[in-house]
Amino acid sequence: MKLLEERIKQDGQVLSDHVLKVDSFLNHQIDPGLMQEIGREFAQRFAADGITKIVTIESSGIAPAIMAGLYLHVPVVFARKRKSLTLSEDLLTASVYSFTKKETNEISISKKYVNEHDRVLIIDDFLANGEAALGLLHIVQQSGAEVAGIGIVIEKSFQDGAAKLKQLGIRVESLAQIAALANGEVTFLNQETE
C-alpha cells in the first residue's frame, strides 16, 4: 500500500536493525485518515471472503481493526492482555510470548463474541515473530470459528512470523512488507527488485 509505505519512509524511525518506531501515526499518536485508508484496503482485500467478525489485540491493533470493521460492516473484538474485572467467565485464552519484552502474556476473549458461525479476519499492527498472531489464531480456532485470513499493517518480512503463518496454510495480507531495516533505512520487499 503506497500511502502507508510513504508514511513509513517519512515518519518512521529505525531504532535498530530490527525495530521500527511509528509512534507518530500508529502506536501512540494515531492518524485517523491513514487508519481509514488502511481499513478500506483490508476491506477490499477480504471483500469476497464472507467475513462476519474481526478479531484483534489491544492496544495498537484496535485502530486499524475498527476501520476495517467499518468498511466490512462487521463487529470488532479485541483480545485483552490482562484479565478484566467484568470479563471473567467463558474465556478463550492463549499464551503469547513477546521476544521484544521477554515476557509471556495470557490473552483472552469471551466466548460470547466469537463462535462456530463466524468467519474471522484477524488484524494486527505489526507482524514480527508471529507470537501475537499465533495466539489470536489459537483463540479463534478454539471458538470453532473459521479463520479467513490475517491482515497486518506492517510486516517485518525478515523475521519469521509471516513464514510460520503461511506454513500453517493461513492467508496473510500485509499492507507494508519490510525487507530490512539496515543502516537506519527502511527497505520494502517490493523495492528490492526495482
Instruction: Provide the b/e sequence for 114-144 (b: ≥16 CB within 10 Å).
Output: beeebbbbbbbbbbbbbbbbbbbbebbeebe
Instruction: Provide the b/e sequence for 40-61 (b: ≥16 CB within 10 Å).
Output: bbbbebbeeeebbbbbbbeebb
The verdict on whether residue 189 carries a ligand-binding annotation is: no
Rounded to the nearest whole angstrom, what is the least distance from the CB of residue 134 to ligand G4P in the complex? 8
Among 5, 41, 118, 125, binds Na ion (CB under 5 A): 125
Q: Closest CB to ligand G4P among 52 and 165?
A: 165
- Plot region of 125 (φ>0 → left; ψ -120 to 50 → alpha; else → beta): alpha
Site string for ligand G4P, 41-80 (x = CB under 6 A): ------------------xxx-------------------
Rounded to the nearest whole angstrom, what is the least distance from the CB of residue 101 to Na ion in the complex? 11
Among 54, 128, 153, 170, binds ligand G4P (CB under 6 A): 128
Q: Between residue 39 and residue 68, which ones bind Na ion under the rule CB under 5 A?
A: 60-61
Give CA separation, 42 vs 45, 49, 142, 165, in Å: 5, 11, 24, 18
Q: Closest CB to ligand G4P among 95 and 100?
A: 100
The verdict on whether residue 105 carries a ligand-binding annotation is: no
CB-facing half-sphere around the CA of 29: CA atoms within 13 A:
9
Residue 127, binding choice from Na ion, ligand G4P, none, Cβ under 5 to 8 Å by partner class: ligand G4P
Considering the rule CB under 6 A, would residue 161 count as an interface residue with ligand G4P?
Answer: yes
Considering the rule CB under 6 A, would residue 19 count as an interface residue with ligand G4P?
Answer: yes
C-beta neighbour count of 15 within 10 angstroms: 11
Q: Residues in the site for Na ion, rule: CB under 5 A?
A: 60-61, 124-125
Binding positions for 5-phospho-alpha-D-ribose 1-diphosphate:
128-132
Binding positions for xanthine:
20, 27, 156
Q: Residues in the site for ligand G4P, rule: CB under 6 A?
A: 19-22, 27, 59-61, 98-100, 125-132, 156, 161
